[in-house]
Amino acid sequence: MLDGIISFLERIHIKEPKKPPRKPEPDVISSLPQPIISHIASFLPTEEAIRSTILSTSWRNVCSSLSNLEFNQAYFKKKKLDSEVFSRFVSHTLRSHDGSDVHKFTLEAYFETLPEPMLVNEWISFAVQHNVKEIYISLHTMTPVTLPCCLFTSPTITLLDLFDFRLKLPSVIHLSNLQHLQIESLYFCNEMSLINLFSNLSCPLVNSCCVVSCPPYIPDLIPKSGWNLRSFSIANTVVHPAPGNANGTLVNGILHHCALPNILSNSILSDLDDDSDAELTGSHDDRSSSMEIGSSIRPGIVHRLDKGTSGLLVVAKDEYSHAHLSEQFKQHTIHRVYISLTSGVPTTLSGRVEVPIGRDINNRIRMAAIPCPSVSRQVRHAASRYKVIEVLAGGGSALVEWILRVIIHW
């Protein structure tokens, strides 16, 4: 009987009640105030901001008035899109712009791969014509590039960042509002034209200058520029010549600045390489000999600073100052304090770290900690006192002050 009831029920067609039609969800994005939408879009890469126009009609208007324009060809290469697609995208974006001011303009392209390299000048000119304040240009080429003259006579640019190409500067340069200048891996077709760029007459308001991996004659122009710099840094530059780095060092720049001949030979460089071990081994006579070599190859350099290491470097302007400063470093009478950012927080908020250091057996140009040195190895006894200044990121990091002390054991 139960089977008959189930069979009967299965034959009955029961209509389900109709669900009311779903109401379209409100367009929350469109309801946001226009300044907020513009602020959100300013944080997006230009490629992503343009793609976001499908979200709302309001975004279409915002993307035509973006104040931060960032075009990076590497993004297109990652998506396996060729340089022609990149060029069309940049040109279309700029043509669609409503004419409002541009605050920041970034262009990173591979100049030689562009179907029409001269389009670069049109893109840069567009930014200048729209009162750009910050401009970043990277072209990744050693082919001489002539950028538009208006870039170097703009009255609105406050920050100029040029990276990785060979530049042919115009004869007329006048950036009346430029405050920050950064050049990295930049080479110039005419050294004399640099005098116009690094000049108080051409760029009277520059107060910050950063030079990274550029020819050694550039630092020589800074003292002559007349700029009242609050910040000047030379990054990623080797301090003194060594095997593999005979040119382009800070010492080469000092020799150029002092109009001294470059007397560095391969034999001297070889001796200097051997001299690096004389700090850990050898007799007093050996050290005296190495100091004479060092004085000829490191004029004015009081102490070393490894490439890629940030910090202050003391350089003496005459032999008397050099001798006295070097003696102070040797006797450890100079008070040096270092600030570091650590991963994690030290177990104790203050303490002492003591471990010998010596030359790395796998890479002789590096130093390494030697917890259990053998009798045959020469090491330095190194001790450092530290104090945690501030715990950051909920205990994920810490700002730590260090006072170092190194005593050489011969």
pLDDT digits (tens, 9 = 90+) for 316-330: 777 788 888 888 887
Q: Is the pLDDT of residue 291 over 60?
A: no
- Confirm whether 54 is domain-assigned: no
Of 334, 359, 377, the residue at which a domain comes to its end is: 334
| Angle at the Cα of 168 from the Cα atoms of 164 and 171, rounded to 5 degrees | 140
- Confirm whether 36 is domain-assigned: no
Q: Is the pLDDT of residue 149 over 90?
A: yes
- Confirm whether 169 is domain-assigned: yes
| In a shared domain, residues 326 and 383 | no
Contact 93, 102 (CB under 8 A): no
Of 334, 362, 382, the residue at which a domain comes to its end is: 334
pLDDT one-digit tens code per residue, 325-346: 888 887 878 887 888 899 999 9
| In a shared domain, residues 205 and 71 | yes
Confidence of residue 302 (pLDDT cuts 50, 70, 90): confident
Q: For this structure, is 360 an active site residue?
A: no
pLDDT one-digit tens code per residue, 233-281: 777 677 777 666 666 677 776 676 666 665 555 444 444 444 444 343 3
Q: Is the pLDDT of residue 37 over 50?
A: yes
| In a shared domain, residues 86 and 206 | yes
Q: What is the mean pLDDT of residues 111-139?
A: 93
Q: Is the pLDDT of residue 212 over 50?
A: yes
| In a shared domain, residues 296 and 198 | no
Q: Is the pLDDT of residue 123 over 90?
A: yes
> What percentage of the chain exceeds 90 in pLDDT?
25
- Confirm whether 19 is domain-assigned: no
Radius of gyration, CA atoms only, the chain: 31
Instruction: Give the pLDDT of residue 16.
Output: 55
| In a shared domain, residues 201 and 328 | no
Cα 133 to Cα 124, 164, 375, distances in angstroms: 12, 21, 62
User: Which of 289-298, 366-375, 391-400 comes out lowest in average pLDDT?
Assistant: 289-298
Contact 314, 290 (CB under 8 A): no
| In a shared domain, residues 300 and 381 | no
Contact 196, 175 (CB under 8 A): no
Which is it for strands 337-343 and 357-359: parallel, antiparallel or unpaired?
unpaired
Instruction: Give the pLDDT of residue 106.
Output: 94
| In a shared domain, residues 186 and 87 | yes
Instruction: Give the pLDDT of residue 355.
Output: 84
CATH number at residue 387: 3.30.2350.10
State the CB neighbour count (10 A cutoff) for residue 190. 12
Instruction: Give the pLDDT of residue 105.
Output: 95
User: What domain range is 369 assigned to?
Assistant: 336-410
| In a shared domain, residues 264 and 383 | no
- What phi and psi values does residue 263 have, to the nearest 5 degrees? -105, 20
Q: Is the pLDDT of residue 216 over 70?
A: no
Q: What is the DSSP letter of 68?
A: E
Instruction: Give the pLDDT of residue 167.
Output: 92
pLDDT one-digit tens code per residue, 371-388: 776 655 677 778 889 999
Confidence of residue 288 (pLDDT cuts 50, 70, 90): very low
Instruction: Give the pLDDT of residue 284.
Output: 35
Confidence of residue 124 (pLDDT cuts 50, 70, 90): very high
| In a shared domain, residues 298 and 389 | no
3-state class (DSSP) for residue 104: strand
Half-sphere exposure for 327 (CA within 13 Å, toward CB): 6
Cα 253 to Cα 224: distance, rounded to the nearest angstrom: 14
- Confirm whether 46 is domain-assigned: no
Residue in 27, 82, 274, 306 annotated catalytic:
306
Q: What is the mean pLDDT of residues 215-219?
A: 68
Helix (H) or strand (E) holding 129: helix 119-129
Instruction: Give the pLDDT of residue 397.
Output: 93
| In a shared domain, residues 72 and 208 | yes
- Confirm whether 58 is domain-assigned: no
Output the average pLDDT for the chain.
76
| In a shared domain, residues 353 and 326 | no
**Amino acid found at 405:** R
- Confirm whether 24 is domain-assigned: no
Number of residues that make up the chain:
410
Instruction: Give the pLDDT of residue 316.
Output: 79
> 7 or 302, which is more confident?
302
Instruction: Give the pLDDT of residue 262.
Output: 59
Q: What is the mean pLDDT of residues 289-310?
A: 58
| In a shared domain, residues 179 and 91 | yes
Helix (H) or strand (E) holding 342: strand 337-343
- Confirm whether 48 is domain-assigned: no
State the CB neighbour count (10 A cutoff) for residue 23. 6
Instruction: Give the pLDDT of residue 209.
Output: 87
Instruction: Give the pLDDT of residue 408.
Output: 46
Instruction: Give the pLDDT of residue 6.
Output: 55
> What percentage of the chain exceeds 70 in pLDDT?
66
Output the pTM of the full model: 0.62
3-state class (DSSP) for residue 295: helix
Number of structural domains the chain divides into: 3
